[in-house]
Structure 1
Amino acid sequence: MSTARTERQRREPSDRAGGEGRDGMAPQAPATATLCCDENEKLNLSRRGLLGRGLAVGAGAALTGLAGEALSTSLAFAAGAYTGDTLVVISLRGGFDGLSAFAPIGDAEYYKARPGIAVPKAKVIAGDGMFGLHPALAPLLPQWKAGRLAAVHAVGQPNPTRSHFAAMEAMENAAPGTSIRTGWLDRMLGLTGAAGPLAAVSMGGSMPARLFAGPSADVSMKGVDDFTLAAEGRKPMAAALRAMYADAPPLMAGAARAADRALAATTSVRSAAGAPANGASYPATDTGAALRDVARLIKAKKGLVTATVDCGDWDMHEGLGPAVKGQRMYDNLAGLASAVAAFVTDLGETAMKKVTVLTISEFGRRVEENGSRGVDHGHGNAMMLLGGGIRGGKVYGTWPGLAPAALVSGDLRAVTDYRAVIGEVLRKRCGVGALDKVFPGVEPSSFGLAVAA
């Protein structure tokens, strides 16, 4: 049984229990809600439980119990040399508030709707008069000024929902209205032909439920140094695994052989110097540790095509707070920015020319703040993009405005499909020509935010 299927089975009852309104969206929390979402906490617990057990799975074969913490693999059927960017996808779990990160300081309605938590014009650290960067993003200011960091505002999903589980699944599947059940990163990998043992890696303490669902090879690990078979120090588990599947048909042996290749590939990464380069200093956070290990894989030149990193705790129904240190939004943004800035420093300018980092989140937050200095589940959001092939230093997108008549059920209207933004990156930086096979029916954005490789 695959890890993704196990998590889907666990979460479906929670989605049903949450209920949905007649407009297809879950009922809104009261304006004075003070509790974080139960379903979001259940999701975190579900992931931790899965990782604690440690599964190794493959197409048609399960190796339950043999793998160390957070090891999962699946068969690959394509082969080829990939020459595009390494795509690093950071999932901001819980519902990121793009209206705080890239504040619409030129829209007077923003300050009317958020009298206690809006970012004052005097505190933004960069921008264009219409949008301003939250001061906690200061570690990334050099990238903004150098034209390597950009944002796209008012993005969202075509069928919005305020259920964490439903929205995450739809975001990672990215094929609404179709019978496709694979994840969009799995489909992208299939088109690149990349089949190396470390072509696709989910790094850190959580595993994306659907991004890598499908036949392309992928590996999930807590960290490079933790990627081992259970009891491998006490018993020759890897050798036993190879012998066990030596004469097995490819379909049955695929998972074991993929795991063996991935273990061999990470061994050389562990043996190499693991210290960050160029004076980079990662924060002592899960996101910092995960990005540090992604950088290790990139520097080791092990054929990494894409990596995912989960960065959680963005579900701020309460205590989002004003833009000052010690408040939840400020501290979370500062931690994210510090980790990404260290990642960029570690890789150096030359390597970053072939790396693109982007953020996604299942939904945004409501425009109006609630009585607990937080914001409830919304729709329209902002994405960040960073890399040597990104035309940065600006916020892209069509701004619909925050006037009450411009909102959709109290939410920022999403006028740009998040898949179109990713599609422009896939086409220009990753060499994916058949975008319809990744995002059915979606045309890439024409913002010009990415430079053709």
Structure 2
Amino acid sequence: MNTCCTEHARASAGLPAIEPGMPEPAGTGLSRRNFLLRSAGLGLAVYGAGKLAKLPAFETGVAHAQGAPQGTVLLNVFLDGGVDSLSVLAPVEDATYRRLRPRLALNDGRPFAEDPRLRWHPSVNALADLHAEGKVSVLPAVGYTGADQSHFTSRHFWEVGALDANLRTGWLGRVLDGVGAPDNPLQGVSLDGHLAPALATARNPVAAIAKPEEFGFWAPGAWGPADELAVPAFTQIGRSLQGSGDPAIAQAARAAAFAGTVRDALAPLGADGKPLYAPAAAYPQTADNFPKRLAGFAAMLAAGLPIRAASVRAPGTWDTHANQQETMPKNLQLTFDSLLAFQRDLEARGLADRVLTLVWSEFGRRAAENGSGTDHGAAGVGFLIGTRAAGRMIGEFPGVDKLDAGGNLRATSDFRGLYGALCGDWFGVDPAAVLPDARGLGKPVILK
């Protein structure tokens, strides 16, 4: 029985840690075009300020907008570690399920209206409420054929939108290269304070901001009036030198100008770690930063900031090799109670029709328990949340009586097809200009 993953990790500057020998995260290899400006652990990552050499042909094509509503926003929520889909939506009355999970099988839960075999886990009642309102599209078995059970490899595939270990730009980054602008670092926002690989661009900048009220810069040896004058001065110098004929000076100037742009945009939302905004919904009270980041993001949208995509990691670990009954319910409760509050916040502010939230994990778990937990699997569960979400199942639950050769759920929908629908129908971008496999995959209906 595995008790945990013992993968030794290393960090790539500004990107998540990975195991040696695994695919490099999207964004690796663009270090000459990265600028990371930090203060007290917070900062702005200005990324993709120049063109990356040797881009695949599909990336170099221009992804023209096709008339989608301007200002549509996607929030990308990652459940890191592989969430157990057979706990989130469980076939509680299935005899095979109960044989495979003598300890971990759920005994009850609210019925899932679209498939009478399934019940919601009691800790995701918030999600069940939104589903009952027609605001959640469920992907009960999403993945890809021949699932790789390495965290790093499977996560990389989801982040780049292709089964390609060598791709270095994120799928949302390529969307932003098509619909974004070279002077708007807020078009893509990593809400964890470091670059999210899915947002890694080749040309246009994106930002990394944990919470808007904590954004700022520290000037060494300066405080008080001098500190207050330093950043605006550097910003002005940067703006005046962006057209320099010296590439190094132009790059540094662009970074300073972007930093000042973000600082000015966020200033009305808070200072010195204190928010100047009030959430329009009641978020869970917890020491975890996840609900606070969602509340800050809603406030950023309400302030009119030009954001098109954002990414954030859900709280806790979802790699439940052991002690699943103790850890998973708490993580589910906090994650989906927070996302319900975020949805209510958007609705109260009149922003809900502009925003979709995508919830995903790199894979599901093995159908059979290992004792107190479950090991890495194949197809998992995903959700698309929002008032404009179609609110109907994408794919179907394949059942536990026809597992693959490894004892895992078979995928009935491909994540790349979902991405294609988001590209074309939500962002108004030609999927073929973003996704290398777009022509071979169907697009599900994702919008009402």
Mapped to 2, the partners of 1:62 and 1:139 lie a distance apart of 39
Q: What's the CA shift string for 1:410-438, capped at 9, x where partnerless?
A: 21112321121132233222222x10122
More moved, 169-178 vs 40-49? 40-49
| Correspondence for 2:257 | 257
Q: Is the Cα contact below 8 Å between 1:101 and 1:134 reproduced in 2?
A: yes
**Cα distance 1:42–1:401, how it changes in 2: closer, same or farther (>3 A)?**
farther
Contact 2:279 2:345 in 1 (8 A): yes
Partner of 1:353: 353
Q: Partners in 2 of 1:44 and 1:37 — Cα distance? A: 20
Q: Which residue of 2 aligns with 1:242?
A: 235
Could you list the runs of 5+ residues in structure 1 that have no partner in the other structure? 1-31, 51-56, 322-326
**Is the Cα contact below 8 Å between 1:424 and 1:450 reproduced in 2?**
no
C-alpha separation in 1, matches of 2:435 and 2:339: 27
Aligned CA distance change for structure 1 residues 377 and 446 (closer, same or farther; 3 Å): same
Q: Which moved more, 1:194-203 or 1:294-303?
A: 194-203
Residue in 2 aligned with 1:295?
Answer: 298
Q: How does 1:396-407 map to 2 (within 5 A)?
A: 396-403=394-401, 405-407=402-404
Q: Distance in 1 between matches of 2:298 and 2:262?
A: 17
Equivalent of residue 142 in structure 2, options 155, 180, 185:
155
Q: Within 5 A, what are the aligned runs for 1:26-105?
A: 32-34=1-3, 36-39=4-7, 60=32, 63=35, 69-75=42-48, 83-105=70-92
Aligned to 1:282: 284
Distance 1:304 1:177 in 2: 28
Aligned counterparts of 2:92 and 2:11: Cα–Cα separation in 1: 34
CA 1:113–1:293: 2 relative to 1, 3 Å:
same
Judge conservation of contact 1:98–1:364 (CA < 8 Å) in 2.
Answer: yes
Output the CA distance in 2 between the equivalents of 1:117 and 1:388.
34
- Are positions 1:230 and 2:218 aligned together? yes
Q: Tell me if 1:420 matches 2:417.
A: yes
2:205 aligned residue (217, 222, 243) = 217
Aligned to 1:377: 376
The unaligned stretches of length 5 or more in structure 2 are 19-28, 51-61, 245-249
The offset of 1:202, in angstroms, is 0.5
Which residue is 1:24 aligned to?
none
Secondary structure (helix, strand or coil) at the match of 1:448 reads coil
Give a deviation string over 1:108-161, Cα, whole Å, max 9, x none.
4222211211222x3235433122211111123331111001211211144522
2:408 is matched with 411
Q: Deviations over 1:178-197 (max 9, x none)?
A: 86421111001122235533
Per the TM alignment, residue 43 of structure 1 is displaced from its structure 2 partner at its CA by: 7.2
| SS of structure 2 residue aligned to 1:38 | coil
- From the superposition, tell whether residues 49 and 151 of structure 1 become closer, same or farther in structure 2 (CA, over 3 Å): closer
Q: 1:332-351 alignment to 2 at 5 Å? A: 332-348=331-347, 350-351=350-351
Taking the aligned partners of 2:12 and 2:166, their CA distance within structure 1 comes to: 27
Distance change (3 Å), C-alpha of 1:263 and 1:133: same
1:435 to 422, 431, 434: 431
With over 3 angstroms needed to count, the CA separation of the structure-2 counterparts of 1:60 and 1:48, relative to structure 1, is: closer
Q: Would you say the 8 A contact 1:320–1:374 is kept in 2? A: yes
Q: CA deviation at 1:449?
A: 3.3
Taking structure 2 as the reference length, the TM-score comes to 0.80
Per-residue CA deviation, residues 306-364 of structure 1 (Å, 9 max, x unaligned), is: 1101114111101112xxxxx32111111111110111111216311111001121111
Cα deviation 1:277-310 (Å, max 9, x = unaligned): 1x42334222111111111111111111111011
Instruction: State the secondary structure of the residue aligned to 1:117.
Output: coil
How many Å separate the matches in 1 of 2:146 and 2:84? 19
Query: Is the 1:74–1:254 Cα contact (8 Å) retained in structure 2?
Result: no
- Percent identical pairs in the alignment equals 28
**Secondary structure, counterpart of 1:228 in structure 2:** coil
Aligned counterpart, 2:130: 143
SS of equivalent residue, structure 1 residue 395: coil
The equivalent residue for 2:389 is: 390
User: Is 2:173–2:199's contact at 8 Å kept on the other side of the alignment?
Assistant: yes
Relative distance call for 1:64 and 1:224 in structure 2 (3 A) is closer
Q: Is the 8 A contact 2:214 2:270 kept in 1?
A: no
Distance 1:48 1:407 in 2: 31
User: Which one is further off, 182-191 or 423-432?
Assistant: 423-432
> Which position in structure 1 is the counterpart of 2:270?
270
**C-alpha distance in 1 between matches for 2:14 and 2:30:** 20
Rounded to whole Å, the distance in 2 between the matches of 1:207 and 1:64 is: 10
Root-mean-square deviation over aligned CA pairs: 3.2
Q: Distance in 2 between matches of 1:334 and 1:41?
A: 29
- Equivalent of residue 110 in structure 2, options 107, 124, 130: 124
Which residue identity is paired with 2:426? Answer: R
Conservation of the 8 A alpha-carbon contact between 1:150 and 1:390: yes
| Aligned partner letter, 1:408 | A
Give the aligned residue type for 2:215: F
Distance 1:363 1:237 in 2: 47
Q: CA deviation at 1:70?
A: 3.7
The residue that corresponds to 1:54 in the other structure is none
Alpha-carbon spacing, 1:287–1:65, altered in 2? closer, same or farther (3 Å) = closer
1:320/1:328 contact within 8 Å kept: yes
Task: Please tell me the residue identity of whatever aligns with 2:446.
Answer: L
**What is the alpha-carbon distance in structure 2 between the residues aligned to residue 123 and residue 45 of structure 1?**
44
Q: Which aligned runs of 4 or more in structure 1 are off by greater than 6 angstroms?
A: 40-50, 77-82
2:83–2:364 contact (8 Å) kept in structure 1 = yes
Q: Distance in 2 between matches of 1:289 and 1:46?
A: 22
Q: Report the secondary structure of 1:91's partner residue.
A: strand
Residues 43 and 216 in structure 2, CA contact (< 8 A), matched pair in contact too: no
- Distance in 1, matches of 2:294 and 2:8, equals 23
